[in-house]
C-alpha cells in the first residue's frame, strides 16, 4: 500500500480514477496540462495536482520523484503526449499503463477521414455552416476554408486563453462557442439547429466523451458528420480494467479500502412517461449527482444528459451484478419507467438491494395513470388499477364491477383482444381511452367504444382507461339457479354453492380446481369471486363441457379454464392449486386427493357428497392424509313451491360437506 501512482489526466476517466484512488486512501499525483484542468480534479489528503505542459525530459524528471506506476489517461488523440509519457517511463524504469476509453458506437452515414487536414480538404468544395468540435488545438487548420469566419463555428473550452487564441484567428461572436463538455444529445441538437449547420467535424471521444450523443443529434438534425478517425496502434485498458488491475495489485479481492456497503447509495428514480420534461426536480438532482446511471435504453435516453456514465440493463440480476462488480461507483441511480410504486421493477430491486446492504432511496415519478387522467380531466382515486403488460389481467371482471379501470398495455394485439372480450361479455357500451406514447412529441389519445377501436393499430407504449357507467359491484355469490344455462348435467344448487365457496375462504388471486364441474355453476361463482385468480373446471362429460363453455361466455368469466377429462389424470399438468372443490370424483377420490396434495399439501379442499359411498371415501381420505383442519356438516335444504293458494316446503337431497386443510402427509 506504499506505492505512489502518477496519473497524466487529460480525460474524464483520468479525473475519476484520481478521485477513486483518493477515496481509497491511495497516494496519487495528477498531472494536467492547464490550470482549468487542475480545477476539475478533486483534491484530497492523498491526491495532489500540478498543471503545466511537460516534454519528455520534464516527464522523466517528475517520474523519478518516487512513483512506481504511471497511468496514461490522456485523450485518445493526444498521440505525441502519450508517446512522450511512454518514452519517459522506459528511461526511468517505471511501469507504464495506458487507460484508453473505448470507441463510440457508429450510427448513421459518417464520412471518416484520417486527420483534421483531410477533414478540411473534404469541406473545401462544400457549402453550408460547419460546427467544429475537435478542440482548440487544431482550430487554426479550418482557417484554410473560404469564408471560414462566417461559415465555421468553433466549439472550444471556456478558458480566457483559448477564447483569445480563437479570437485572434478570427473566430468570434456567434461563431465562437465556449463551453465545457461533454454535451447531451438535446444540447448538441439545439446548437446544430441554432447555427443552421450542414456539417459537423468531430473526433471519436467515446461514449463517456459524448460522442454517441453528438452522432444522434446530427442524425436528427440532418447534419453530415465528418469523423476524424483515431490514431492507429494505440492500445490500452478500459477504466474498469484499470480498476480491477489496481485491486489485484494491492492484493485485495474487493475494491481498495472498500467503503462499507452502507456508504454505497442506490437511488431508484421514476422518470415518468419517458420524455425528459417529466423528470421531477428530485430526479434531476439524483441523476446529476450520480456516478453512474443504470437502466433500459428508453429510460437512459431521458436522463443521460445529466450523467455521461451509463449502463444499459433492465433485468434485476443484471443490475445487481453490475453494482456488485463496480465498487468504484458509490452513488448509483437506477432509472425506472413511470413511478417506482406502480407496476415497477423497483419491487424486485428493493429486496435485492437491501439484501446487499446498500443504502437505498426511492424517488417517485409521474405514473401513466396520473398523467392520462390529467389529460382527460378526470380523477383517478376511484380507479381499479391493472397491468396487462407482459402479464395476465382479468380486465373484463374489473370493468364489470368498477366504473373506472386503468391498465398498462403492450400494443395493438392486446387492445384488440380486450375489445373482443368486452364485446363477447356484452360490454359494448363502455368507453375506452387509449393513450399512446404519453409525454412524447407523438403522443396520441384515442377514445371510443370496443367496436370502434378493435381494428385500429396502436403502438407498444400504450395504456387504457375504461369507463363503465353501468358497473355492478354487487357480491357475486348467490346467483339464482335459473340464471345458469341448464341441461341434463347435474348442478350444485345455489345454497350449497354459496356455503361451499364461503367454506373455501378464497382470496382475490386463488388458483382453484373445480373437479366434476357439471354445468359449471360453482366454477362461475368462484371465478367471479377471484378476479385476479384462475379457476380450472375439470369435467369428463361432453354435454357438461359444452354447458360450462356457454355459461362462461354468458357470465364473462375469462379467468375460467375448461379442462375436458377425468381426474386425477386431467389435473396432473395443471399449475399448483391453492383450493379445490370436489363435486364429483367418479370413484377416484383417494387418487384425486393424492395428486392434489402432491402439488400443495397446505391447500384447502371442500368435498360435497350425496351418496353414502362418497361419504365413506371422504372419511377415509380425511384420516389417511392426516388433515389438521377438519369440518364435516350435513346440509338439508327445503324450498317452498306453490300449490294453489298454499306454499309447500319440498326437501332437496341432503348434502354432506367436508372442509379439509393442512394435510400432514401425502399418503
Do 603 and 575 form a contact (C-beta atoms < 8 A)?
no
pLDDT at 373 over 60: yes
The answer to whether residue 213 is domain-embedded is yes
Per-residue pLDDT, 30: 92
605 and 623 share one domain: yes
Q: Is the pTM of this model over 0.75?
A: no
CA distances to 401, 415, 467 from 431, rounded to whole Å, are 15, 13, 5
126 and 79 share one domain: no
Burial 622-645 (b: 16+ CB within 10 A, else e): beebebeeeeeeebebeeeeeeee
The answer to whether residue 651 is domain-embedded is yes
Residue pLDDT, tens place only, 475-521: 888 899 899 998 888 888 899 999 999 999 999 899 999 999 999 99
Do 201 and 123 form a contact (C-beta atoms < 8 A)?
yes
The answer to whether residue 249 is domain-embedded is no
* CATH of residue 557: 3.40.50.150
548 and 589 share one domain: yes
* CATH of residue 393: 3.30.950.10
Characterize the bridge pairing of strands 560-564 and 534-539: parallel
Mean pLDDT in residue range 6-10: 90
- Mean pLDDT for the chain overall: 89
* CATH of residue 156: 3.40.50.620
Residues facing 224 on adjacent strands: 199
Per-residue pLDDT, 319: 92
What lies within 8 Å, CB to CB, of 474 at 6+ separation is: none
213 burial (CB, 10 Å; 0-12 / 13-18 / 19+) is: buried
501 and 632 share one domain: yes
Per-residue pLDDT, 608: 95
- Of residues 260 and 32, the one with the higher pLDDT is 32
539 and 651 share one domain: yes
Query: What DSSP string describes 303-368?
Result: HGGG-S-EEE--SHHHHHHHHHH-TT--EEEEEESB-TTSS-THHHHHHHHHHHT-EEEEE----H
Percent of the chain with pLDDT over 70: 96
* Distance from C-alpha of 349 to C-alpha of 137, rounded to nearest angstrom: 47
Do 574 and 600 form a contact (C-beta atoms < 8 A)?
no
* Distance from C-alpha of 470 to C-alpha of 143, rounded to nearest angstrom: 75
> For residue 45, what pLDDT band results from cuts at 50, 70 and 90?
confident
Percent of the chain with pLDDT over 90: 55
94 and 127 share one domain: no
633 and 496 share one domain: yes
**Domain count of the chain?**
5
324 and 346 share one domain: yes
Helix 185-194 with 211-221: angle, nearest 10 deg: 40
The answer to whether residue 463 is domain-embedded is yes
Considering only 101-115, 213-227, 305-319, 404-418, which range has the smallest mean pLDDT?
A: 101-115
Per-residue pLDDT, 532: 87
pLDDT at 258 over 50: no
Domain boundary among 242, 275, 293: 242
The answer to whether residue 472 is domain-embedded is no
Range of the domain at 20: 5-102+236-242
CA distances to 55, 83, 503 from 293, rounded to whole Å, are 38, 34, 51
Considering only 79-93, 243-257, 584-598, which range has the smallest mean pLDDT?
A: 243-257
The answer to whether residue 251 is domain-embedded is no
Mean pLDDT in residue range 131-144: 92
* Distance from C-alpha of 174 to C-alpha of 168, rounded to nearest angstrom: 15
140 and 98 share one domain: no
510 and 654 share one domain: yes
* CATH of residue 42: 3.40.50.720
Considering only 281-285, 369-373, 625-629, 651-655, which range has the smallest mean pLDDT?
A: 651-655
Per-residue pLDDT, 1: 45
* CATH of residue 298: 3.40.1010.10
The answer to whether residue 250 is domain-embedded is no
Residue 97: closest CA among 113, 87, 86, 108: 86
DSSP state of 298: H
Q: How far is CA 143 from the centre of its chain?
A: 49
* Distance from C-alpha of 3 to C-alpha of 547, rounded to nearest angstrom: 83
Burial 58-82 (b: 16+ CB within 10 A, else e): ebbebbeeebebbbbbbbbbbeebb
SS3 of 78, please? coil
Domain boundary among 335, 366, 397: 366
Residue pLDDT, tens place only, 208-239: 778 888 888 898 899 999 999 888 777 888 88
> For residue 186, what pLDDT band results from cuts at 50, 70 and 90?
confident
Identify the H or E element spanning 119.
helix 116-123
359 and 443 share one domain: no
546 and 405 share one domain: no
The answer to whether residue 247 is domain-embedded is no
Domain boundary among 406, 437, 467: 467
**Three-class DSSP labels, 441-462:** CCCEEEEECHHHHCCCCCCCCE
Amino acid at each position: 500500500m506504499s506505492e505512489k501512482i502518477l496519473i497524466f489526466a487529460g480525460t474524464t476517466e483520468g479525473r475519476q480514477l484520481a478521485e477513486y484512488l483518493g477515496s481509497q486512501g491511495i497516494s496519487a499525483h495528477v498531472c494536467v496540462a492547464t490550470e482549468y484542468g487542475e480545477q476539475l480534479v478533486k483534491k484530497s489528503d492523498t491526491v495532489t495536482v500540478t498543471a503545466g505542459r511537460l516534454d519528455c525530459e520534464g516527464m522523466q524528471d517528475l517520474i523519478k520523484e518516487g512513483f512506481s506506476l504511471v497511468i496514461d489517461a490522456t485523450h485518445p488523440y493526444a498521440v505525441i503526449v502519450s508517446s512522450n509519457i511512454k518514452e519517459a517511463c522506459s528511461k526511468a524504469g517505471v511501469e507504464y499503463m495506458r487507460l484508453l476509453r473505448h470507441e463510440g458506437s457508429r450510427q448513421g452515414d459518417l464520412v471518416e477521414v484520417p486527420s483534421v487536414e483531410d477533414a478540411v480538404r473534404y469541406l473545401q468544395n462544400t457549402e453550408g455552416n460547419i460546427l467544429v468540435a475537435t478542440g482548440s488545438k487544431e482550430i487554426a487548420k479550418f482557417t484554410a476554408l473560404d469564408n471560414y469566419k462566417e461559415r465555421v463555428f468553433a466549439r472550444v473550452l471556456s478558458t480566457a486563453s483559448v477564447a483569445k487564441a480563437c479570437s485572434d484567428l478570427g473566430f468570434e461572436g456567434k461563431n465562437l462557442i465556449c463551453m465545457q463538455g461533454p454535451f447531451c444529445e438535446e444540447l448538441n441538437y439545439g446548437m446544430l439547429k441554432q447555427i443552421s449547420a450542414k456539417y459537423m467535424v468531430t473526433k471519436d471521444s467515446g461514449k463517456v466523451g459524448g460522442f454517441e450523443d453528438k452522432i444522434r443529434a446530427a442524425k436528427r438534425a440532418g447534419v453530415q458528420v465528418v469523423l476524424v478517425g483515431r490514431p492507429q496502434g494505440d492500445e490500452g485498458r478500459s477504466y474498469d480494467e484499470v480498476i480491477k488491475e489496481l485491486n489485484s495489485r494491492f492484493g485485495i479481492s474487493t475494491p481498495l479500502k472498500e467503503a462499507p456497503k452502507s456508504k454505497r447509495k442506490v437511488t431508484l428514480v421514476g422518470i415518468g412517461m419517458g420524455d425528459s420534461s417529466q423528470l421531477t426536480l428530485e430526479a434531476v438532482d439524483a441523476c446529476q449527482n450520480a456516478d453512474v446511471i443504470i437502466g433500459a435504453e428508453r429510460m437512459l435516453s431521458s436522463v443521460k444528459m445529466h450523467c455521461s456514465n451509463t449502463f444499459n440493463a433492465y433485468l434485476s440480476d443484471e443490475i445487481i451484478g453490475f453494482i456488485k462488480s463496480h465498487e468504484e461507483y458509490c452513488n448509483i441511480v437506477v432509472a425506472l419507467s413511470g413511478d417506482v410504486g406502480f407496476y415497477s421493477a423497483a419491487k424486485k430491486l428493493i429486496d435485492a438491494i437491501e439484501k446487499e446492504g446498500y443504502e437505498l432511496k426511492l424517488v417517485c415519478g409521474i405514473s401513466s395513470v396520473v398523467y392520462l387522467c390529467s389529460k382527460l380531466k378526470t380523477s383517478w382515486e376511484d380507479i381499479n388499477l391493472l397491468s396487462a403488460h407482459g402479464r395476465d389481467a382479468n380486465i373484463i371482471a374489473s370493468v364489470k364491477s368498477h366504473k373506472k379501470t386503468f391498465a398498462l398495455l403492450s400494443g395493438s394485439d392486446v387492445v384488440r383482444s380486450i375489445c373482443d372480450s368486452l364485446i363477447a361479455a356484452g360490454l359494448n357500451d363502455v368507453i375506452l381511452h387509449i393513450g399512446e406514447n404519453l409525454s412524447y412529441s407523438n403522443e396520441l389519445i384515442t377514445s371510443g367504444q370496443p367496436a370502434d377501436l378493435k381494428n385500429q393499430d396502436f403502438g407498444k407504449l400504450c395504456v387504457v382507461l375504461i369507463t363503465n357507467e353501468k358497473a355492478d359491484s354487487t357480491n357475486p355469490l348467490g346467483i339464482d339457479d335459473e340464471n345458469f344455462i341448464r341441461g341434463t348435467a347435474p348442478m350444485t344448487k345455489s345454497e350449497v354453492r354459496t356455503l361451499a365457496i364461503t367454506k373455501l375462504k378464497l382470496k382475490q388471486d386463488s388458483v382453484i380446481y373445480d373437479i366434476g364441474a357439471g354445468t359449471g355453476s360453482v366454477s362461475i361463482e368462484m371465478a367471479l369471486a377471484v378476479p385476479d385468480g384462475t379457476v380450472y373446471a375439470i369435467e369428463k362429460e361432453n354435454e357438461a363441457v359444452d354447458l360450462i363453455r356457454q355459461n362462461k361466455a354468458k357470465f364473462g368469466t375469462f379467468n375460467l379454464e375448461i379442462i375436458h377429462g377425468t381426474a386425477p389424470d386431467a389435473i396432473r399438468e395443471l399449475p399448483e392449486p391453492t383450493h379445490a372443490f370436489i363435486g364429483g370424483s367418479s370413484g377416484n377420490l383417494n387418487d384425486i386427493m393424492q395428486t392434489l396434495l402432491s402439488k400443495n399439501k397446505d391447500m384447502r379442499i371442500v368435498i360435497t357428497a350425496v351418496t353414502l359411498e362418497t361419504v365413506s371415501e371422504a372419511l377415509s381420505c380425511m384420516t389417511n392424509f392426516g388433515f389438521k383442519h377438519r369440518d364435516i356438516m350435513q346440509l338439508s335444504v327445503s324450498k317452498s313451491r306453490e300449490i294453489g293458494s298454499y306454499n309447500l316446503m319440498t326437501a332437496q337431497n341432503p348434502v354432506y360437506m367436508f372442509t379439509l386443510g393442512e394435510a400432514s402427509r401425502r399418503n
